[in-house]
Amino acid sequence: MSKVIEIIEELVAPIVDELNLELVDIEYVKEGKSWFLRVFIDKEDGIDIEECGIVSEKLSEKLDELDPIPHNYYLEVSSPGAERPLKKESDFTKSIGKRVFIKTYEPIQNEKEFEGELTSFDGETVVVTVMIKTRKKVIEIPYNKIALARLAISFS
């Protein structure tokens, strides 16, 4: 499965670069009996459906040429949404000052899930300020211990 994602990344990267877009993530998953190839793209001020359509069309042409996936699948190209995943170091750097949700592989200060403001990132440690009742607490999370990270929506 990771080989398919690798191939798709090689195919789609020049397309998004040409359009001045950012490749956020690629998913290749089976849901029920169907396979889905999902490509998430974005840009500074957000993307629109036309841009998704252009990327989908150009990527479809490349996929038809090379045929790297042996069975039927659905191709979806879309925005990562408001709770976009943070996967690369650059995602963390760009998200300083924003609200994030982070899940770790192992407990840190007896917790594995943290939600708060991403206050800094130095390439090795992610620092998140969380609210515990009325108190702010600073949590330092080693980057290599992060299992999942995404932007979080605040409803306050």
Query: pLDDT per residue over 28-63, tens digit each?
Result: 999 999 999 999 999 988 899 999 999 999 999 999
Query: pLDDT per residue over 60-76, tens digit each?
Result: 999 999 888 988 999 99
Domain that holds residue 96: 89-151
- pTM (2 d.p.): 0.79
Looking at residue 153, its pLDDT comes to 86
Query: pLDDT per residue over 15-31, tens digit each?
Result: 999 999 999 999 999 99
The structural domain count of the chain equals 2
The tokens of 4 are what?
A: 């398919």
Q: At residue 1, does pLDDT exceed 70?
A: no
Residues 24 and 73 in one domain: yes
Residues 74 and 94 in one domain: no
The tokens of 122 are what?
A: 């130095």
Residues 70 and 97 in one domain: no
Residues 37 and 96 in one domain: no
Domain membership of residue 84 (yes or no) is no
Identify the domain boundary among 19, 52, 78.
Answer: 78
Please give the Cα distance from 5 to 68 (Å, whole number).
Answer: 10
Please give the Cα distance from 28 to 30 (Å, whole number).
Answer: 7
